[in-house]
């Protein structure tokens, strides 16, 4: 029998990086280079050379390019599954976009590395081998990293110096709607808040033409009276506002008042993101806006 075919899309990231003469790690290896490092496996592998970027520099347009490349491979009936090699800084965001646009079918597995290819103990080859096996075994969009396979909804990067880098916000993440329309020119900003934060950064996003704003709020999704007032103005201007949190785990509940709590933000028109943290909340909001979702549909998606 002919071995199954897995397409491996290379986008750069640490897994493809080596240190240059200055000591800086930069993407240097192609997808085929990385496949050549694998032990023999009973599978056909197709290298797709797409990007060579650090994921910290990826734009929403770049993420859409990756999602489109996944769609091309899934359209090939010969492909049993797809693996995406990706930097860890934004892996949770691009993976969620692919889940929203292409989830529910054949396997799409994201992986990468914490340590560059020329480090003393590179973790990329083992992660890649695991991702290929997962792509032949588990349908849907997954993350294969640090010897674990995780759903992509509700994942976050929990460590910058450990091979097992990713965790889930909640043990059983919710299902999300299919949002097939491509991202185009949506601008969604994340505004980080601190205790007593004023509205300077929030209003700067409004002035820059943001279509949506995600608050990286405190606690279970709390801010200040100044932010609550600015949210009300943003909603009056038809700018969508989502409240998430800098707290990494747990369900977020808009409980507190006091002028700037989560309850007050909801009253001002913000939608509480019960599970998704700021990075993934930004992707979901951008996808909802691209699909012309109304206020009710946005609230439903985040609840």
pLDDT in tens, 81-101: 999 999 999 999 999 999 999
Percent of the chain with pLDDT over 70: 100
Q: Please determine, for residue 138, whether its predicted confidence score (pLDDT) is greater than 90.
A: no
* pLDDT band (50, 70, 90) for residue 73: very high
* Spatial separation of the C-alpha atoms in residues 134 and 266, rounded to whole Å: 40
pLDDT band at 110 (very low <50, low <70, confident <90, very high): very high
Name the token pair of 103.
């989830």
* Digit-coded pLDDT (tens) for 161-171: 999 999 999 98
Residue of 14, 65, 88, 111 marked catalytic? 14
* pLDDT for 1: 83
> What's the pLDDT at 193?
98
φ and ψ of 24, to 5 deg: -85, 135
Least confident of 84-88, 119-123, 190-194, 240-244: 119-123
Q: How far apart are CA 86 and CA 265, in angstroms?
A: 35
Residue 175 has a pLDDT of: 86
Mean pLDDT value across the chain: 96
**Is the per-residue pLDDT at 255 higher than 90?**
yes
C-alpha triplet 14, 17, 23: angle, nearest 5°: 110
The DSSP annotation for 163-218 comes to SS-EEESSSSPPP-----SPP-S--EEEEE--TT--SHHHHHHHHTT-SEEEEEEB
Task: Supply the pLDDT for residue 203.
Answer: 98
Paired with 240 in beta bridges are 212
pLDDT grade for 174, boundaries at 50, 70 and 90: confident
pLDDT band at 173; cut points 50, 70, 90? confident
pLDDT tens-digit readout, 217-248? 999 999 999 999 999 999 999 999 999 999 99
**pLDDT at residue 172 greater than cutoff 90:** no
Residues 21-54: tens digit of each pLDDT: 898 988 999 999 999 999 999 999 999 999 999 9
14 is catalytic: yes
Q: Is the pLDDT of residue 60 over 90?
A: yes
State which H helix or E strand residue 300 sits in: helix 295-302
Pick from 112, 147, 97, 144: which is nearest to 13 by CA? Answer: 112
Q: For position 247, what pLDDT does the model report?
A: 98
Which residue in this structure is represented by tokens 């439903």?
300
pTM of the entire structure? 0.96
């Amino acid at each position: 029998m002919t071995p199954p075919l897995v397409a491996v899309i290379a986008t750069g990231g640490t897994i493809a990086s080596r240190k240059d003469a200055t000591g800086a790690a930069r993407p240097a290896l192609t997808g085929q280079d990385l496949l050549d490092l694998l032990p023999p496996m009973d599978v056909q592998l197709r290298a797709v050379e797409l990007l060579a970027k650090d994921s910290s520099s990826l734009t929403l347009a770049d993420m859409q390019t990756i999602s489109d490349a996944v769609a091309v491979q899934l359209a090939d009936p010969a492909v049993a599954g797809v693996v995406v090699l990706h930097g860890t800084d934004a892996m949770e965001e691009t993976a969620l976009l692919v889940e929203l646009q292409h989830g529910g079918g054949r396997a799409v597995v994201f992986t990468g590395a914490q340590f560059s290819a020329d480090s003393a103990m590179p973790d990329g080859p083992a992660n890649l081998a695991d991702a290929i096996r997962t792509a032949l075994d588990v349908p849907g969009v997954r993350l294969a990293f640090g010897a674990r396979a995780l759903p992509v909804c509700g994942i976050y990067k929990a460590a910058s110096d450990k091979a097992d880098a990713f965790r889930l916000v909640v043990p059983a993440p919710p299902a999300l709607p299919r949002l097939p329309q491509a991202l185009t020119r949506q601008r969604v900003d994340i505004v980080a808040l601190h205790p007593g934060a004023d509205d300077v950064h929030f209003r700067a996003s409004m002035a820059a033409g943001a279509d949506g704003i995600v608050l990286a709020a405190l606690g279970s999704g709390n801010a200040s009276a100044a932010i609550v007032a600015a949210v009300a103005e943003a909603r009056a201007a038809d700018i969508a506002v989502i409240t998430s949190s800098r707290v990494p785990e747990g369900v977020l509940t808009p409980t507190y008042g006091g002028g700037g709590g989560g309850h007050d933000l909801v009253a001002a028109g913000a939608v509480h993101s019960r599970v998704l943290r700021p990075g993934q909340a930004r992707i979901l909001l951008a996808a909802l806006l691209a699909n012309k979702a109304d206020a009710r549909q946005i609230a439903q998606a985040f609840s």
